[in-house]
Amino acid sequence: MRVPIGSWKIVGGACLVGEPNNLVVDAVPTVDEKGVQTMLVTGPSSGLCRWLTGRVQLHNEMKAAWEQALSTEKSQHSWWRLWQRLTLWLKEFPSPQIIATVTYFDFSDGDKSSSPTPWFTAMFAYESPPPAESFGVFSHLEESFVVFPGAAPKEVTLLLNPSPTFNTVLPQEEQPTIVPDMNDVFSFFGQNMERAEHTRAAFRVDYDEIVTTPITFNLKLADFWSFGGDCMIQGNFVITWDEASTPCLHIHQATMNLVTAYLADKIEAIKFTARGIDFFRNVVPGVAAVVEKPPFRAPGGTPLLDWTNKMVYLGFLTDPLLKRKFSRAKKILSHIRWQMAASVAEGILNPGVFFGPPS
């Protein structure tokens, strides 16, 4: 993944990298795997920000040498080789490139924690421009991040877009009011009770390389819910696509019979396979994924959801309070699904209930 130049900063000695402010940490060894994980934000890895700034500065200091190399290259082409000379004349000083190679990521902590903080590890390296652009001027700058000169490249641990409250105990919540929860429920069912602005969905996924390691998301129908007009997955993701209707509306339509209403929270009916991931270039980190053939079919034998090969975009959300809201919404939605499915079944078996006795 490419790291935008200048997207890192040091705050109180801590290093934040990328538009989502991914926090660089060093984990303190512990013997209690179920206990609280202590992390240092000013440990050895926090030097990453200074290293990144230093690489960019060294790159920019090579501008005079690059211009001299460009002039030398131009002089080697005779005047009648107009195309080559024009190509060289149009060249501009190349921008520095910082590449992060993600080696591991964990979005849920294996479900061991009720409110885990997503994290990942990565190797950071300066990448020189292609030979046709650099003329060999920058090759001596190629280097991976190290804690001190001569050390092996350092694998850095970062918290993915951490919530401001990630290191504090969540407050005990008052008895939730019914109105906000029901607003979200009716939003899921397609009613016009959404907010005008859907800020969580204002993200895009930019990526340069296709994901080669299989990364899949196996989901249940009950994992989808609406919050403030956005279609959500559990308490972790906001999901969008290029269609006008939201995925949540399709889920609602698919759970209108007794069978799917019963199985909504029992089987994994949807599978996403990641095609690209971007942890650095958007305020909301995201995944571009394709919908695989669903393993579950409706009672009539047709696919439960006709989403095969559709592209979806998942944005990572790290607000720990979303998990509480999802837990409440899931219970309410499950009850309403059963009520609606039972009503539909009753209407089919006993039409007189809805249309009155035949005349």
Q: What is the pLDDT of residues 32-51, one digit of tens each?
A: 666 677 889 999 999 999 99
According to the model, what pLDDT value does residue 259 have? 72
Taking a C-beta distance cutoff of 8 angstroms, is the pair 137, 65 a contact? Answer: yes
- How confident is the model at residue 178, as a pLDDT? 43
- Cβ neighbours for 333, distance < 8 A, ≥ 6 positions apart: 185, 188, 222, 225
What angle, rounded to 10 degrees, do the helices at 82-89 and 63-75 form?
A: 170
pLDDT on residue 10 = 96
Highest mean pLDDT among 108-122, 130-144, 245-259: 130-144
Examine the pLDDT at 185 and tell me if it is beyond 60: no
- At residue 230 the predicted structure's pLDDT band, cuts being 50, 70 and 90, is confident
The answer to whether 22 and 158 have CB atoms below 8 angstroms apart is yes
* pLDDT of 277 over the 80 cut: yes
Between 266 and 96, where is the model more confident?
96
Predicted pLDDT at 246: 85
Give yes or no for residue 169 having a pLDDT over 70.
Answer: no
Between 48 and 298, whose confidence is greater? Answer: 48
pTM: 0.78
| Residue in 85, 13, 90 with CA at minimum distance from that of residue 44 | 13
| Domain regions of the chain by residue span | 2-159, 178-349
Rounded to whole angstroms, the Cα distance separating 262 from 250 reads 17
pLDDT (0 to 100) of residue 81: 63
* DSSP β-bridge partners for residue 38: none
pLDDT, residue 192, reads 39
At residue 319 the predicted structure's pLDDT band, cuts being 50, 70 and 90, is confident
pLDDT, tens only, 5-40: 999 999 999 999 999 999 999 988 876 666 677 889
Q: What is the pLDDT confidence band of residue 116, given thresholds at 50, 70 and 90?
A: low
Q: What are phi and psi of 179, to 5 degrees?
A: -60, -50
Are 230 and 224 within 8 A, CB to CB?
no
Please report where in the chains the tokens 């899949």 appear, as a residue: 216
Specify the higher pLDDT residue, 235 or 152.
152
For residues 220-228, give the mean pLDDT.
86
Q: What is the mean pLDDT of residues 104-131?
A: 79
Q: What is the rounded average pLDDT of the residues 338-355?
A: 53
Residues pairing with 288 in the sheet: 276, 313
Q: Are strands 237-240 and 230-233 parallel, antiparallel or unpaired?
A: antiparallel
